[in-house]
Structure 1
Amino acid sequence: MAYRIKQSLCKLIAGVFFISSFSYAETRQDSELTDILEQAGMKGCLALMEVNSDQIQVSDLSRCQERFVPASTFKVANALIALETGVVREDELFPWNRSPLPIKTWEKDLTLQDAMAVSAVPVFQIIAQRIGLQRMADWVNKIGYGNAKIGEKVDRFWLDGPLAISPLEQTKFMARVSTGQLPFSSQTLAELRRLIPQEEVGDARLFGKTGWIMDTKPMVGWYVGWVENHGRIVAFAAHLLINSQDDAPLRKSLAIAALRHAKAFDATHPNK
């Protein structure tokens, strides 16, 4: 009995630690981030976090605290939960059933890495169904993801709500993913690193995931992730209110502009 109580207490303490990680990070508004948005004619939020020093810069604090449906950015959390619970293998192949799909790049057999790269909603809906509603709810609450509300539809809550997360929360979540400060095994975190889209930029490696909500006016675009550069980590979130699909590439390009402002891709730390 004493052992079980001690074990439960340890899990509770661990959960509190994971949720509170970076909760007290210093946050300040950066006018240059605001300028990046204004010069592009966009409304939204840019947020950057120097993970090693817990310092956050935002374009507009009130906008960056507003919650929105995460859309496909939730695939990062979905993959972590699926890998940890064992409902999917990193090398698993998801066959296409030959039914027409709204995006042509989804119309083929996909590995988990492929599905992440092309943001294949049907694959991640299958994964969510395998996890199940109660287990998904428990994990979303355990990792403190946004408002942690998933409702009754296990395969739609990140697309239609009620799950919602702010750009500031996205940035902190990406910081926790990048540093392993989440209640997942080291194997799961390593597998996620291999799955998430990534590329070399200068001397750094950029990890990032897009999100896109098209059935609202204006549409909502996300690009979230982190940059690793010789031990330095900068987590980020770009959230844009978009009126034209032609502006979808701005999700990534404005995030990169913000990261360049922070010298995230430079060979040396700007403060050294």
Structure 2
Amino acid sequence: MVKPFTLVAVAVLALPTAAAATPWRDEPAVTALFRDAGVDGTFVLLDEGRGELRGHNRERAEQRFVPASTFKVANALIGLSLGAVQNVDEVIPYTGDANPFMREWLEPMGLRGAMRVSNVPLYQELARRIGLVRMREAIERLHYGNQQIGSNVTTFWLLGPLAISAVEQTRFLSRLAHQRLPFPRGAQQQVAEITQIDSGPGWRLHAKTGWQNAPGAGVGWWVGWVQKGDQITPFALNIAMAGAADAPKRDRLGRSSLQALGILPGPPRGPVLEP
């Protein structure tokens, strides 16, 4: 069980190195994937061994967008750390629409199941339990994006004002994967566990989708990290989406980019449609 902690009692980590100070390497193979798919977007990974960013479309990679459901990763971490839930399997009552975006959301579940099906109402309930003041303090401690949450604790990551860049996503995820965030390690370990979506001989893939303005036109995300032994490679993709037909492109382009750079083996998997 993760015990709640007091935010002010934890030392603040230094801010991540500014993106502009980190070398960037354009990857033509990834650019070709985006061009062939006819997609406007970016993909970036943080090569921790070389201390450089690698990918496609640096300008967009440094541009901030609403994080949408990728914020569930931080939300889960904050909720576990503050004791809003005791563990990732504690069932949280559903308080959303009776006819939701996904019927799976109506099933009883905790943070683990809600991460898997991207259950928005359940994570909104978690945010209510955390509360606006504690949420703001936690996001500032994480140095998450622009650190702005406004006055509505259930919509700030869906409608703004919270915004984060793809580069900032990789830095946040790097610290989480290494368990270097200023939160209990047990909470970080649980969040890492529920974000794992795939694995193979010698590797594990952790990832989370996001879809701002689902099911309409907006920004689609796919962020996470690949772990091979002690080697961790954080990544982030975002694309301009016209609608539901573009949803599978997030996972597909992300996996293909990781494969093109030798981070993941094998062919891409099937579509991912959740927000």
Q: Work out whether 1:93 is the aligned partner of 2:110.
A: no
TM-score in terms of structure 1 length: 0.87
Q: Using the alignment, how far apart are the partners of 2:120 and 2:188 within structure 1? A: 22
Higher helix share: 1
* Aligned length in residues: 256
Which structure 1 segments of 5+ residues have no match?
1-7, 268-272
Three-state SS of the structure 2 residue aligned to 1:252 is helix
CA RMSD of aligned residues (A): 2.2
Three-state SS of the structure 2 residue aligned to 1:248 is helix
Equivalent in the alignment of 2:34: 37
Equivalent in the alignment of 1:231: 230
Give 1:48 shift. Answer: 0.9
Letter in 2 for 1:249: P
Equivalent in the alignment of 2:5: none
Matching of residues 179-198 of structure 1 within 5 Å: 179-198=178-197
Which structure 2 segments of 5+ residues have no match?
1-7, 267-275
Question: Which of 1 and 2 has greater Rg?
Answer: 1
Q: Which moved more, 1:211-220 or 1:108-117?
A: 211-220
TM-score in terms of structure 2 length: 0.86
Cα displacement string for residues 9-32 of structure 1 (whole angstroms, at most 9, x for unaligned residues): x95xx4242x32686543222222
Matching of residues 162-201 of structure 1 within 5 Å: 162-201=161-200
Give 1:148 shift. Answer: 0.4
Q: Using the alignment, how far apart are the partners of 1:86 and 1:57 within structure 2? A: 37
Letter in 2 for 1:31: P
Give 1:170 shift. Answer: 0.9
Cα displacement string for residues 51-77 of structure 1 (whole angstroms, at most 9, x for unaligned residues): 343221120111111110000000000
Structure 1 pair 249–216 and aligned structure 2 pair: CA distance change class (3 A): closer
Q: Using the alignment, how far apart are the partners of 1:203 and 1:40 within structure 2? A: 30
Give 1:49 shift. Answer: 1.2
Give 1:217 shift. Answer: 6.9
Q: Work out whether 1:54 is the aligned partner of 2:54.
A: no
Three-state SS of the structure 1 residue aligned to 2:240 is strand
Q: Is the 8 A contact 1:220 1:240 kept in 2?
A: yes
Q: Is the 8 A contact 1:229 1:265 kept in 2?
A: no
Give 1:266 shift. Answer: 5.2
Q: Give me the identity figure in percent.
A: 35
Q: Using the alignment, how far apart are the partners of 1:244 and 1:159 within structure 2? A: 16
